[in-house]
Amino acid sequence: MAQIRSKPFGVTKQGANVTEYILSNPGGLTVSVLDYGCIIKNIIVPAKNGPVDVVLGHDTMADYEDDFTSSGSTCCGAFVGRYANRIENATFSVGGKTYQLEANNGPNHLHGCFSRKLYRVKAFGDTLLMEAESPDGEDGFPGNLKLAVRYTLTEDNTFRMDYRVSSDADTIVNLTNHSYFNLAGHDAGSIENQTLVLKAEQFSPVIDSASIPTGEHAPVQGTPMDFTSEKAIGAEIEADFEQLKLTGGYDHNFILDKAVEGSIELMAVASCKESGITMEAFTDLPCVQFYAGNFIAPVTGKNGVFYDKRNGFCLESQYVPNAINQEGEEKPILEAGDTYDTTTVYKFIF
């Protein structure tokens, strides 16, 4: 069973103490988590040539706060919500009412404020339970929410993330984790030679550089969006293809090929030949946003390392972006008194 220890990490600008929790299993896999934003700060894999930290991050609380409050925020490693990805024109209707959200991504709403909350933590066995509240009207959303995030590290090198949310009013919820992976190491530079498989035969084209989907589910076959078989991330990222030009590379929603709706199934496999590390990712959600780090602004990361464009990739399990405003899409509506439960899993093979 994994062991959990803790140590002080820093202090927020508001004077709150932040704690780092370190989960380690008998095989040597280590995951470090902050009670600020439920941030995954480190995932250290005991690879064949020595330990490799496979996620981007920061060394200080000040660096995380500066990152998360900047216009080019990466949300690096954080738990994201109330609504991951974009809501067009920062507005939606539910329960017969229309709500105006904070427009924090041009005219649109993106991700929300859960990455900037401080969570209460209970550590037991191989699991961290982190809890917080989101009051009615936060970011413009209706309903008082109770949040529970559970992180579990198992002996088979699986890191599991379970999210559970309840509300006292009809609302919408779409939660994800925003870790940036580099399977060669957070300090290794470009991820373009690392390979990826996505269990998705369709993707969501976007209207323009604002990345709002058109509503179409387009086939990946015959396009650079096809990752149904193993392919280097950078193999076609600069292709003469309108969708890649609009977003500066891969930053698209992929509709997963689900055998059973709502079941936890494989969504992606990423590998790095140099480190010998493979990561399998599973989810019960219908989609995944594959982002190749096209807009990582030059920033100093862990150990003074300089992070830049395409130095990490994200696999964000989710619903279709802007689904609440799109006809025909599955709606991530949480009705009053109901519970939203979802699971995403990363398994490391080395």
Report pLDDT digits (tens) over 206-242: 999 999 999 999 999 999 999 999 999 999 999 999 9
User: Is the pTM of the predicted complex or chain greater than 0.85?
Assistant: yes
The Cα–Cα gap between 113 and 210 comes to 20
User: Please, what's the b/e burial string for 244-281 (b: 16 or more CB within 10 A of its CB; e: otherwise)?
Assistant: bebbbbbbbbbbbebeeeeeebbbbbbbbeebebbbbb
Closest to 167 in 3D by CA, of 125, 202, 124, 138: 138
CA 344 to chain centre: 10
User: How much is the pLDDT for 97?
Assistant: 97
H helices of 109-168, where?
Answer: none
Q: pLDDT tens for residues 172-202?
A: 999 999 999 999 999 999 999 999 999 999 9
What amino acid is encoded at 185 in this protein? G
Selected catalytic residue, list 109, 178, 186, 252: 178
Could you confirm whether 261 is annotated as catalytic? no
Take residue 311 and report the two structure tokens written for it: 């130095």
The Cα–Cα gap between 152 and 169 comes to 30
Question: How many other C-beta atoms can be found within 10 angstroms of the C-beta atom of residue 206?
Answer: 22
| Helix or strand run (H / E) with residue 119 | none
Could you confirm whether 178 is annotated as catalytic? yes
What amino acid is encoded at 103 in this protein? A
Take residue 154 and report the two structure tokens written for it: 């198992």
Selected catalytic residue, list 65, 88, 138, 316: 316
Closest to 310 in 3D by CA, of 322, 323, 325, 295: 295
Q: Is the dihedral of CA 249, 227, 160, 57 positive or negative?
A: negative
User: How much is the pLDDT for 160?
Assistant: 98
User: How much is the pLDDT for 34?
Assistant: 98
Q: Which segments of the chain have a pLDDT < 70?
A: none
